[in-house]
Amino acid sequence: MKFAAIADIHGNSLALEAVIADIEAEGISDIVNLGDFFSSPLDAEGTAELLRGINAVSIRGNHDRWLIELAPEDMGTSDRLAHDQLAMETLDWIRQLPATMVWRDEVFLCHGTPEDDNTYWLEQVTREGRTRSAALTDIEARAQGITQPLILCAHTHLPRTVALADGRLIVNPGSVGCPAYIDLEPIPHKVQAGKPHASYAILEKRPEGWSVTHRHVPYAHLDMATLAMERGRPDWAEGLATGWISNGTFADIANG
């Protein structure tokens, strides 16, 4: 078994287009998509059109859930911008997606953690607002009851593979379309991949176990950074252009 895992596209159609081309060049036909498809100041409906063409196995993320649960006037800025672009059929598609899934009996899919699509699994935020690796004991505690040998999660946008004591693997494929962001919950913090590339993962079952290859694909990221700036989102523009969020941009949003 060999397949690709994508996540956290966040309306970045150019990044998704590059990742799809890379997956096809690798001769891979099966794709699983771990959610947060559209929310951004970018190209939500263009992203939806690309997703309709690849027939990926998909679950929803926290931002996808907010797009169908919240009234537009109650949405965050990025969710509202995406919502206003999306066709009703796309919103109806989100409504029928599960929060978690077991795929082909061997792979467990979730967005955040098995219990909560808006909780970090492999990382944690300190009281000082720093993002760091979670303790292995905490990571393993959240995996209790999952029997599949391969577990896929997303949400933090950071490509990472963690081996549990019993041999199971937890893999975050990273973000296709948003390499750095600022979040105000649970306290203001930033997450930074440190590169502008579109990230995804290739998973292959071998006799010795699961092989994981993290892929980082270049694309016309400055075009998307320009679009974000034109739509009044300098934080998005900086993250897309560099993979980092400066302290100045972070402080402006955290204090605003």
Is the pLDDT assigned to residue 179 strictly greater than 50?
yes
Tell me whether residue 256 is in a domain: no
Q: Are 160 and 148 in contact (CB under 8 A)?
A: no
Inter-residue contact 89 to 101 (CB < 8 Å): no
Close Cβ partners of 86 (under 8 Å, ≥ 6 residues apart): 38, 44, 45, 48, 67
How many distinct structural domains can be found in the chain? 1
The CATH number for 70's domain is 3.60.21.10
Residue 93 maps to a domain: yes
End-to-end CA distance of the chain: 48
- Predicted confidence (pLDDT) per residue in 107-163, tens digit: 999 999 999 999 999 999 999 989 999 999 999 999 999 999 999 999 999 999 999
Q: Which residues contact 213 (CB under 8 A, 6 or more apart)?
A: 201, 202, 203, 204
Q: What is the span of the domain harbouring residue 118?
A: 2-251
Question: How much is the pLDDT for 250?
Answer: 66
What's the pLDDT at 62?
Answer: 98
Does residue 171 form part of some domain? yes
Average pLDDT, the chain: 95
Q: Give dist(CA 16, CA 233) in Å, integer.
A: 20
Per residue in 2-21, pLDDT tens? 999 999 999 999 999 999 99
Looking at the domain assignment, is residue 230 inside a domain? yes
Looking at residue 253, what is its pLDDT? 66
Q: Look at residue 45 and tell me if it is in a domain.
A: yes
